[in-house]
């Protein structure tokens, strides 16, 4: 089965074609980072308009890359949530219309399920069951995964997601949007231990997260210690260490609670090299394994949507002719496969 996947949940337009036998055949991505940089964050109306301009040309480019035409596509998958309602409607409308015109089934895909399953696109995919850490600009969640659609939420952020905290702290340090990757790069020049940030909610039981306080702690530290380049790097290092340590502590607790030996990290922040190294060391000591997608598949992309859609289409899941999206869509609401 060849599935066309369309991702338009926020500020990246992704289109890919996945073949259940041959693997990924094409992957096209357009990022709106430059469009939103002047505003310091995503402007929903601008994002929607840009998706309108880019989605169809990217579909045409993906078909060319794969050497296919519309008659070779067996199904269409599109992100239906969570995300920005206007942006989601662009991909859902295009995807559902194409499926109707091509007389193939369509399936609405959960954006976070796409992220969760993205490591399945790699040569060494994880086996069920595993603990998944979904960590991005909008979500920080720990999930027990025993199969596709068999998800149990173990813990989540009660305020800012980890990626959001990265971006907000980067802004305090005067870095451009999106600031998370720039903060991590700055942290590489930082001195370990000059500043020590708290590890929030690790001094109590439970698997929930809280990162808004770290942003406030960073703001106070910047105000009290100045903003020369080395001090900024040292603060960035302390902030990143605090987030990474907190995520690792909670992952260890989740693994202890479930008894699982495999850990999957997914979402934009999973591309962070410090986080990957920390979790790899932890899992090596535990005699377990950690899995993640290549960096290009950590951020929003069409490949993960095409793959997740293919899995569900093969099991007979499909959308009706109505076009609907869910800006808020709990992962636990998905039916099992």
pLDDT computed for residue 223 by the predictor: 95
Q: What is the pLDDT of residues 192-232, one digit of tens each?
A: 999 999 999 999 999 999 999 999 999 999 999 978 999 99
Q: Say if residue 208 carries a ligand binding annotation.
A: no
State both tokens at 330. 């709990």
pLDDT of residue 140 exceeding 90, the answer is yes
pLDDT computed for residue 304 by the predictor: 98
pLDDT band at 150 (very low <50, low <70, confident <90, very high): very high
pLDDT computed for residue 3 by the predictor: 98
Query: Which phi and psi (to 5°) does residue 261 adopt?
Result: -115, 0
Q: What is the pLDDT of residues 246-260, one digit of tens each?
A: 999 999 999 999 999
pLDDT computed for residue 8 by the predictor: 98
Q: Say if residue 167 carries a ligand binding annotation.
A: yes
pLDDT of residue 13 exceeding 90, the answer is yes
pLDDT computed for residue 137 by the predictor: 87
8 Å CB contact between 26 and 66: yes
pTM: 0.96
8 Å CB contact between 238 and 244: no
pLDDT computed for residue 227 by the predictor: 81
Cα of first residue to Cα of last residue in the chain, in angstroms, is 17
Q: Say if residue 272 carries a ligand binding annotation.
A: yes
Domains 2-117+297-333 and 128-292 belong to one CATH topology: yes
pLDDT computed for residue 83 by the predictor: 97
Q: What is the pLDDT of residues 95-128, one digit of tens each?
A: 999 999 999 999 999 999 999 999 999 999 999 9
pLDDT of residue 171 exceeding 90, the answer is yes
* Least-confidence region, from 4-8, 227-231, 257-261, 264-268: 227-231
pLDDT computed for residue 226 by the predictor: 79
Average pLDDT over residues 168-172: 95
Q: What is the 3-state secondary structure (H, E, C) of 273-321?
A: HHHHHHHHHHHHHHCCEEEECCHHHCCCCHHHHHHHHHHHHHCCCCCCC
pLDDT of residue 149 exceeding 90, the answer is yes
For the structural domain made of 128-292, what CATH number should be given?
3.30.420.40
Mean pLDDT of the chain: 96
Q: How far is CA 118 from the centre of its chain?
A: 9
Task: Tell which CATH architecture fits domain 2-117+297-333.
Answer: 2-Layer Sandwich (3.30)
Q: Residues of the chain with pLDDT > 90: what percent? A: 97
pLDDT of residue 168 exceeding 90, the answer is yes
Residues 151, 146: Cα–Cα separation, whole Å: 7
**Which sequence spans correspond to the domains of the chain?**
2-117+297-333, 128-292
pLDDT of residue 269 exceeding 90, the answer is yes
Q: Say if residue 136 carries a ligand binding annotation.
A: yes
Residue 70, number of CB atoms within 10 A of its CB: 12
DSSP 3-state of 130 = strand
Average pLDDT over residues 11-35: 97
* Complete DSSP assignment for 258-274: H---EEEEESGGGG-HH
Q: Say if residue 137 carries a ligand binding annotation.
A: yes
Q: Say if residue 284 carries a ligand binding annotation.
A: no
pLDDT band at 299 (very low <50, low <70, confident <90, very high): very high
pLDDT computed for residue 55 by the predictor: 98
């Amino acid at each position: 089965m060849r599935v066309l996947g369309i991702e338009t949940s926020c500020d990246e337009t992704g289109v890919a074609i996945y073949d259940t036998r041959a693997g990924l055949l094409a992957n096209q991505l357009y990022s709106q980072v430059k469009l939103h940089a002047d505003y310091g964050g995503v402007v929903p109306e601008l994002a929607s308009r840009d998706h309108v301009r880019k989605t169809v040309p990217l579909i045409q480019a993906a078909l060319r890359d794969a050497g296919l035409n519309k008659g070779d596509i067996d199904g269409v998958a599109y992100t239906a949530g969570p995300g920005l309602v206007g942006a989601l409607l662009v991909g859902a409308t295009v995807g559902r219309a194409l499926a109707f015109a091509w007389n193939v089934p369509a399936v609405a895909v959960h954006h976070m399920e796409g992220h969760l399953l993205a490591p399945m696109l790699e040569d060494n995919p994880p086996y069920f069951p595993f603990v998944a850490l979904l960590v991005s600009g909008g979500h920080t969640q720990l999930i027990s995964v025993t199969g596709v659609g068999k998800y149990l939420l173990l813990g989540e952020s009660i305020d800012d997601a980890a990626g959001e905290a990265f971006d907000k702290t980067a802004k305090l340090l005067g870095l451009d949007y999106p600031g998370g990757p720039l903060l991590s790069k700055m942290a590489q020049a930082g001195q370990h231990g000059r500043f020590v940030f708290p590890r929030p909610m690790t001094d109590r039981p439970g698997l929930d997260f809280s990162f808004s306080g770290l942003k406030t702690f960073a703001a106070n530290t910047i105000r009290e210690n100045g903003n020369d380049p080395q001090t900024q790097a040292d603060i960035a290092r302390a902030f990143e260490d605090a987030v990474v340590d907190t995520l690792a502590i909670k992952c260890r607790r989740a693994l202890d609670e479930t008894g699982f030996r495999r850990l999957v990290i997914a979402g934009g922040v999973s591309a962070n090299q410090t986080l990957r190294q920390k979790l790899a060391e932890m899992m090596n000591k535990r005699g377990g394994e950690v899995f993640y997608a290549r960096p290009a598949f950590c951020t929003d992309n069409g490949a993960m949507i095409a793959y997740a859609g293919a899995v569900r289409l093969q099991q007979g899941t499909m959308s009706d002719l109505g076009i609907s999206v869910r800006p808020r869509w709990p992962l636990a609401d998905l039916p099992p496969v």
